[in-house]
Structure 1
Amino acid sequence: MDQPTVGILNPGSMGAAVAACAATQAAAVLWCAEGRSPASKARAEQAGLKSVPTLRELLDRSGIVISLCPPAAAEDLARDVVACGFGGVYVEANAINPERAVRIAELLGPDATVVDGGVVGSPPANGKSATLFLSGLQHATAQVAELFEGTALRTKTLGTEVGKASALKLSYASFQKTSRVLVALSTGLAREYGVDQELLEVASRRTDSYLAEPEYIAKTAARAWRWGPELEEAADTLAAAGLPPEMLRAAASTLARWHDAKDSELTLTDALDRLAQP
């Protein structure tokens, strides 16, 4: 494959790391600085991305575009892309439910080819790796997979049906993120009764228990602003499948108590205090 030019929408912590992986195989990776924060600019510069002034220029120059944004913005962003007449490969890699992924594919077609994507794992940087699951037309998923060959972002193709990658992403997120919320509630309850150390000792005797990692509660709080919407998407997916969504909606409601802790450096005590007294 000739080296493509890639556009990233937008370089958050995950987007910037994914874009940096793509940059090893791409002719260039572009991002649109219009309306973005200084933090986004810093991440983009660190990842070696090339700034362009408008979305239209990014789309005109890119053969592959990767969308990684907050779930609520996914369809609005896709509409902006449609308005610019994009005709390349569009990787819809947001944490959205499969029905929304299909709607976006219908919205962008027939001009663009949509690949459904779901990233599982931490941002692939600083020694960490992740997996980008893909589903969609074979020639398009192959282009995307080749783009990340040999990088910290592994790829796995699940077939040609748009929605499969999103379903897998939300299936995993349902367990992983809700489990972290349960740890926070369990630790908060134990602290109220002065038995938090005893709880940790019990958990430490069990293999692979999230309860043995209470320090992660502060990280959960800092990520609540994006984890909550992901769990709402997963709850919608459960409801569409005829499965009860209430547990995930409750977890999302709990995460909302930390909404103002976005990307902050909280201590465990701070996080638990905010959970108990929002």
Structure 2
Amino acid sequence: MGQPTVGILHPGSMGAAVAACAATNASVVLWCELGRSTTSVERAARFGLTPVATLAELLDRSDIVISLCPPAAAEDLARDVAGRRFAGAYVEANAINPTRVQRIAALLGPEAAVVDGGVVGSPPVGGKTPTLYLSGPADTTGRVEALFAGTAVRTAVLGPEIGKASALKLSYASFQKTSRVLVALAVGMAREYGVHEELVKVASKRIDSYLSEPQYIATTAARAWRWGPELDEAADALAAAGLPPEMLHAAVSTLARWNDAKDDSELTLTDALDRLAQP
């Protein structure tokens, strides 16, 4: 069997970088430029992805499709794919809760072979090596593993059960992202009372504490528009498991104060804390 044709839906910062890694073991990586922004067009070109005009063409030509989009769009996208009777491998790699992944698998089956995926780590650029966790039918997870063999995207298979990869992704995100929100609140409070420098000194004695890295608050603010929906998904997963979701809902409402700082790489720590204190 030759190298597969891969389709990526859609090449955001994570999707484009993951797709570029897949290109190592694919004959071509396609993306659909219909309705996408000029930023997406430039990013896709930078990562060497091949544009096609329609979703139908992408699906007709692709053996493996990877879905990496904002969580809210995941099911609508899967519905569009299902409407085209796609019969290849579909990697549902979005940060969505296990129940939604199972719904998507039911929607696309039995024509498509659905794999549950969850990316843990930063986009695979500049030496970063995220892990793509996979769960689903062994033959299909094997095809996805082969696609990323020898690339900066590591793969790990968690077994045949759809939902496990998403559960691991959201379990980790719920800790990692909420921890960053708690740092912002702690530093914000300390600043209001004029003791933020002392707080950082206290925290720096513990090298394992996010609190010793207050400069990361600006990065958190710039990513809030993505992190909020992801933590909403994690809250739903907690509730479905009979666990209390309120802490994550509170983190989501905190992150919402930064929604207008979307991807602002110029944002300073002071700017971020000002927006947090004065929404």
Smaller-chain TM-score bracket: over 0.9
Residue 260 (structure 1) shift: 1.0
2:223 corresponds in structure 1 to 223
Q: Within the alignment, does 1:75 sit opposite 2:55 as a pair? A: no
* Superimposed CA distance per residue, residues 64-84 of structure 1 (whole angstroms, 9 cap, x where no aligned partner): 000000000000000000111
- SS, match of residue 225 in structure 2: helix
* Superimposed CA distance per residue, residues 131-187 of structure 1 (whole angstroms, 9 cap, x where no aligned partner): 000000000000001100111100000000000000000000000000000000000
CA distance in 2, matches of 1:261, 1:114: 35
Equivalent residues in 2 for 1:148-187, closer than 5 Å? 148-187=148-187
Equivalent residues in 2 for 1:1-150, closer than 5 Å? 1-150=1-150
Structure 2 unaligned blocks of 5 or more:
none
CA distance in 1, matches of 2:234, 2:153: 23
Number of aligned residues: 278
2:274 corresponds in structure 1 to 273
- SS, match of residue 111 in structure 1: coil
- SS, match of residue 151 in structure 1: coil
- SS, match of residue 7 in structure 2: strand
Letter of the aligned partner of 2:97 in structure 1? N
Letter of the aligned partner of 1:36 in structure 2? R
Q: Superposition RMSD on alpha carbons, in Å? A: 0.6
TM-score, normalised relative to structure 2: 0.99
Matched-pair identity in %: 75
Residue 208 (structure 1) shift: 1.2
CA distance in 1, matches of 2:36, 2:215: 32
- SS, match of residue 131 in structure 2: strand
Letter of the aligned partner of 1:88 in structure 2? G
Structure 1 unaligned blocks of 5 or more:
none
**Runs of 4+ residues over 6 Å off in structure 1:** none
- SS, match of residue 25 in structure 2: coil
TM-score, normalised relative to structure 1: 0.99
1:234 corresponds in structure 2 to 234
* Superimposed CA distance per residue, residues 34-61 of structure 1 (whole angstroms, 9 cap, x where no aligned partner): 0001111111011100000000000000
CA distance in 2, matches of 1:131, 1:73: 23
